[in-house]
Structure 1
């Protein structure tokens, strides 16, 4: 690799670190005709369903940009070192890194230079070259450029496993404040196009087996947290809206990193705490897999997520009238709401109780965090001891007995439920 390419790679890989929406699953593109790569169930420094850790090349095509978004390190007014790859350079890097077993796929984003279509054309051409000229079957995730034409979006969807359009700021008002040159409509329209085309392709596939794949891993988006003062309620409600209306696979949350003294932004030195991101991801998980609605977790009375306890425990402590739950009688949906019981454990409980009443030791063997769950359940040989529903006392006991490093030291992230 030449020194010139190394310099570009250092600049554009560093600039790409602010985009967190590169973890994915859902694509099943298989190797064929002795090609390169094979997409599994997940990608990008994440874990697949079978436990494999996978990685990808994560870079920007360029950090040149015609926009001056206050929150972006690549904004045109920022005094940073600029670089740009050619189409062929990205193709060659991807293939060479794959052959050296460094990566299993590509995550490619870009600043916008000249205009949206000009930039999007180059992103599409990279994916097309990898697929058609090099028979590359590894994972490809492209960040679509707001304002790009539907024709380019469609072509991108034929070569990429996942496409995503960043919302950037959770509310339209915040976007107008910090990125007045951008238009929310340019973000919404491509999301709507992708949603409709994905649905249409699936229907056509039922009739014509030869129908080509179109974004098999779906679409995602990312929101910056803490740049424009939105509450957790705003953020979570926005996420729920886009999940329901655009069939998103994932919403990613990126804590704002102070980069300038712009008076529209939080002051330097006031970075969003990592735990706030963690709470948003936990809330996102609750909405996607546990059946919670946004307004159950954050609402006018509770617009901010608790930082000292996870949102599932927070909901339970605010709704003690719903507990204790009889593990041997309650339906699956209610068992899921018990702190300390996850999706897999809830399924095991429902299956196992058919053969007899479950006790605390049985629950522990099924993977339940009994030290947390015991305050919210009844089971064979055990009755809830907090008859007076003292939520503050329960919270105290759970925090005191927790083995989480975060709860003991207030430093590291909590595990999910």
Structure 2
């Protein structure tokens, strides 16, 4: 069985995502389509607009054959580690192709530039270190890439993430092939709804109480509206209050949390003592060195107790959110344990149990914020089409 994968958030699933899936299926005919999808929290450090089960259902309705939940410690990391953790999982699953969207460039040009950067990795790393003074790592990386390529067209968040996928594949000597697909119209950071109905996830989320229906497939729109009827959209104030309780009252140690660097705890304490509002806190804590996304990821990693040692764990299982008959052969992979129900936990190694339990904790944190039932991962029926 031949398979391709798309690493995703689908926050929410929209027309652009459908386009990339359909283009992938047209090129890789009869391949089984897998998505490794973030759970209830996404890489920007935000809770997803609707939960992972609703987003998985939309993706299956669009034509995927299996949706696998990304471990939370991978979801809540910067692009380099997000990409590395995801690629390692897909390599173990044995996927043949990784498909992803790119912007501004044609596929061949993007690949040529990516492999040029990989060949000049030592120069890239030195430039990044030199650029770090008074800059975030992301900005230092962007500036270094633009300098090496003498080209700003490569620089977009989606292109950088796609490059990190390719670099991770190269670094682990994986046999995964890559298929870049040029996105239509909207850039990821666009915050307005476009007239051609290919709008970004950001724009759709910002207009979730407006007229956004035509910007995503009907089945995805229905999942959002159903979620609205059942639960609450999360307010980041909830997580900020938990964060302040742990930081200011409990004085919980931050030093080994993913995303921490020396002095960041004291820096954030000073601001949190003063600022009651999460938006003002983020405005004051964000600077040239620390991006808003990094601070928000750190807040969630801190609340959940996701420590650096999670990056050292060798993951040998995958948690299935949805599958169909075509993808069942993947479940027979002898190299990895699949997790579909609570009883499957007994088959996991001690470190895999730690990773799974942290995924369930994150799910329950989302449940507390939205009004979804606790332990929903164990009581909600897995989607099987």
**Normalising by the residue count of structure 2, what TM-score does the alignment of the two structures yield?**
0.24
Q: Hey, which of these two has a bigger chunk of helix by percent?
A: 2
Structure with greater Cα Rg: 1
Higher relative contact order, chain-length normalized (CA < 8 Å, sep 6+) = 2
